[in-house]
Structure formats: C-alpha cells, structure tokens
Chains A and B, each alone.
Chain A
Amino acid sequence: MSIITATNLTKNYPNPELPGQSFTAVNKINLRVNAGEIFGLLGPNGAGKTTTLEMLEGLNKIDEGSILIDGIDVKINPYEVKKIIGVQLQSNEYFDRLNLSDLLILFASLYSTTTNPKELLAKVNLEDKLYAKPDDLSGGQKQRFSIACALVHSPKILFLDEPTTGLDPQAKHNLWNLAKDLNKEGMTIVLTTHNMEEAEYLCNRIAIMDKGLIIAQGTPQQLILEHAPEPPKAPLHGNIEDVFLALTGHGLRD
C-alpha cells in the first residue's frame, strides 16, 4: 500500500544565469512510496532530489502536481502532514546555548507532545551526550542527533536528506544500522543520496533522478537487471594451436 503518492510534481526556479527566465528543477515526476519500505532518491548533484524532498515535506511550494501523504494533500493541509513526518535536513544548526536534552524537549513541544530525551538519545547511541551542545558533537554524532530530533513525535515517515555525506565508514555503517532498525519498527524511510553503496544496502526501492526527471524506478535488483551494462566478454587466451585443435578436434588421426 502506498503511503506517498506524488503526481506530475513540478518546481520552477528563477534562472540565476538568465534573469527573467526560469529553469525547471523538478519536471512532472511521479513517485510512489510503499508503507514500511526504505525508498531512495538517487542522482547527481543538482538532479532535483532535495527540491523533491522539500516539496514532499511541505517546505517548498509545489508549482504543479499534487502529493498525497497518508491520504493527506500536502498542498491543502501542510500542517497535518508535518505532524506525521520526521525530517532530517542537510544543515545541522540549532539555537545556541541549548544542550541536546533542551533541544529535544523544544522539538517535542513544537509537535505539542513530550519526550524522554534520555531514551531517545539512547536509541541513537548518544545517551552520554544528554547535556552536551550540538557544536561539541562529531559529524556522525550530529547526524544521529539530527535523526533523534526528527523522531521526537514518533513519525510515520522519516525523511533523510543525504544522511551519510561527509561521514567516515564507521559512522556511515552506524547510521545505516540505525535506519534499518527504525525501518524494522515499521517506519517508512525516504532518503536522498548519491552514495550507490548506501542505496543498494539500505533501499527496498530506488528512483534515479537526473535533470529534474525520474529516469528509472524499481528495486535495486530490477534496476540492475534492466539497466546494468552487459558483463564484458572474457578476454581471449590461448594460441593458434588451440584454434587448430578447436577446429579440427582432439582425436588422433592415424
């Protein structure tokens, strides 16, 4: 059952190089995300991944098309949608002088709910950082804290925007395990990435974007079968005797 359905989604921006003209960042794309799956949006830089994600999150105006999230129209009722989604953004900046516990309580209050900061931080392996400031965290810890902020209201869908960019392999694997664990608990996850290993390891289904268009969509296996190039032919080996024998047979003649 699909939990996100985007139809003919389009976004235009003013063209910085040609004043007065616009360029299409996202061009009439159709997306479907099933409940309980990890869905990946892949593509090179500037493909339109983040813009698509921001439209799904209700953060960016939808120029054309529509999005239904859990049956709610994002265009008509963005605030209702925001209540059931959790979002981790690329930037990880927070108010100064608040520690992780303060920030989690703050985010919970924005959803008119309460949270137990200690439990939530334990979930993302940061239980000993309850009174640390975000600036004191490492890159991987910051990303995990960012996810903790997105989980304060136990959302149905979690959006992750390039969650492992800039992380070392250990931090990357740690974050993948976290995403898998959350998914096992039933959370639908939509992520953008340009890390192929991440897409293949994490995602149940993938959409590949380029120049504002979705150019392929399916499970990693399907996409490999359909689009992966033919394996190269084995290099020739042997000599002319092998050729002679191959053509005339191995049997003795007299």
Chain B
Amino acid sequence: MLTKLQLHLASIFVKIFYRDRQAIFFSLLFPLIFTGIFLFADSEPDPLKLGLVNKSKDELSIQFTELVKKEKIFTVKEGSENELKAELIAGDQTAIIIIPQSFNNISDPGQLRLLLDASQVRQVDAIKDSLEATLLSIERDLRNTEPMFLLQLEDVKARPQRYIDFLLPGILAYMLMNLCIGGSGFNIVEYRRRGILKRLFVTPIKPKDFIISIVLARMLIIMIQLSVILAMAIGLLKINIIGGLLPLYGAILFGAFIFLCIGFFLGSLAKTQESIRPIVLLFTFPQLILSGIFFPISSLPDMAQPIANILPLTVIASSMRDIANDGASLFAMNLNFLGIILWVVISFFIATKYFVWQKIAS
C-alpha cells in the first residue's frame, strides 16, 4: 500500500516536472510533429507525370490516349517526342510513353516504348509495374476482352491495416522506454552528482520510499504524455485500438515499471553525467533496430530473431501492437506476456540490487 509520504513525494516530483516549461513544450511538440508527418504521408499519392507521344494518330490510339488520361494515377501531357524528352531530362516529367505508328495493326501493333530517367526515378520497377498493369487494363477495355483472372487482395484478419497502425504501438513503446530511462537513469546520476541524494538520505526517508515515489510520479507524467499522442493518433490519424484503451494502458504501465527500473540500474552503473549517455545509447539504440518498431522482426536475419524476441522493448511493443491491431488481451498467455513478467522481475532485481546507496555519501 502506498504511504502518505510516498504520495506526497510523488506529487512534488510531478510538480517539479510541470514547472519545467521547456520539457512540457518539447514533450507536446513531438506528438504534433509525429501526427503531422503521418497526416501528410497518409494523403493520396501524387499522380505520375506522364508524357504521351502519339505517333499513330488513328482512332484506336486516340481512344487509348483518352483512357490513359482518365486514369487517376497519371497526369498526362501530350506532345512531341523531343519536347517531352527535354522535360523528362529536366525532371518535369516522370516518364514518357510513345505510341508507335503501327499501333492500329492488330497483327503486329509494335511496342509501346516507355522512356524513363533512371537517375531520377529510384523506383523504376515499381513505376513500370503500375504502368504495365494500368495499360493492360486499358487495352482490355479497348479490345473488350475479359481478364482471365482477377487478383483481389484480402486481409485474413479482415481489418484495415495501414503502416501507421503497425507503427504507432511500436513508437509509443519506444517513447515509453526513452521517457522512463530519461526520467530515472539521468535524474539519478544528476541528483547524485549535485549532492541532492546525499541531502535526502540524511533525513529518515528510506530508499524504497524514494524509488517508489519517483516511479509513481514518472508513471503519471508518462501516462499523460502518451495519452496526448494517443489522443492525436485516434482523433487525427483514425487509429483504431481494437483491444481497447484499458489493456493498452496496462501494457504501458508494465513497460513504464520495467524501463524505470532499468533506468535506475543504468543510472547506478554510470558514475558521471558523461558516461550515462553512451550507456543509455548502448541499451536503447540496438532495441530501436531489433525490436520491430519500424518493420516486423520476421524481416530481420534468422540469427538475430531469437535475440530480438527477448528484448524488453520487443515484448512491450509486441504486446501493445497485439492489443491495438489484433484486439488481443494483455494477459493472453503468450510469449510476450511471459517476457513482460520476466522483465518485471529482472528489472526490479537489478534496480534494487545495484542501486548502491552507500556510494551516495562518498
């Protein structure tokens, strides 16, 4: 049970944070930028600028040209080959399609030539594929032929899944880790260096009370920070938390506890403010790459996957993603939940074992 002292101390730590206007500004700025980027990135892709040279000029080619123009993925400009080539080189066109003179000849229609500037178009293959598919369907319309088969993509889980849906839980977990370690590890080193810990420990406060109150305060602050991001994601990016907010907050609380404890441990390892940075980076950076924040762990090399799967950020991010995307329960008896329990135990053990109180005085 929490004591009056722990709650009072926690409220003071919260007060200290909320008087730091710069910290509040930046903690709100990040979600704004994050949401802004994805709002922008999520809009319709710009149409492809396509130059069209019609050397045939007969009815079929004109009909074909009109159909190409109707396609939403193209902005078509007709012109002569030389004129459009110059624009392609200048970067004003993305590709040029040339309809040959023999287009009307059914037995030998000749080749449709596509000109591209490979140095300007990084994804030539992707453009080629989408062009080919579009042109093929136009051709079918023209010739009135039915395609032999149609490929229709259907998600087996029958829910709309965008990249942002995959990304958001991971980003939240990554932010959670950074906020926690900044809130405990960096603070402890700073408090020790400035003699504040020493001043506290000549009073009858017990280390346990001190740790619990910092953990409480940080948890509250982190909940508020993550809530701002979540609110923006739900409101503006239309993220759907299928499993509900309650289990998601449950996972966040577990994560906060684990990372705050690890932060205390890293803060105890570091003797100076200079050494805490590389130590924390050594802990957080590999996890940013390996924990499936930006792309799924299954895309990592086979050898790296078992390691990636047991990292604390992985178990938290995967749990949050399962809850948000698949509606899983927090307490689903899967490897992620086992991993969370394991890390709660490990992190609490190393935080209390290695937090060397006696060193405060020396």
Contact = CB atoms under 8 A, between A and B. Distances in A.
A61 B362 CA distance: 10
A98 B12 contact: yes
Contacts of B200: 110
B8 interface: yes
8 contacts: A93-B199, A96-B16, A96-B20, A98-B19, A106-B12, A110-B9, A111-B203, A149-B199
Given A89-B195, A93-B194, A109-B9, 5 more contacts: A82-B203, A91-B199, A98-B12, A110-B9, A111-B204
A89 B16 contact: no
A111 B201 CA distance: 11
Given A60-B361, A93-B195, A97-B16, A109 B8 contact: yes
Interface stretch (A51-59, A115-123, A217-225, A233-241): A51-59
A26 B198 CA distance: 20
Interface in B14-43: 15-16, 19-20
B234 interface: no
B196 interface: yes
B358 interface: yes
B206 interface: yes
A95 B196 contact: yes
Contact of A87 (B15, B202, B362): B202
Interface residues of A, number: 29
A89 B202 contact: yes
B33 to A, nearest CB: 26
Interface residues of B, number: 25
A111 B196 CA distance: 16
A176 interface: no
A91 B195 contact: yes
A173 interface: no
Contacts of B16: 95-98
A57 B199 CA distance: 11
Interface in B167-206: 194-196, 198-206
A48 B4 CA distance: 38
Contacts of A184: none
Contacts of A21: none
A10 B362 CA distance: 15
A15 to B, nearest CB: 14
Given A95-B16, A97-B20, A109-B8, A59 B202 contact: yes
B5 interface: yes
B358 A58 contact: no
Interface string A54-84: 1001111100000000000000000110110
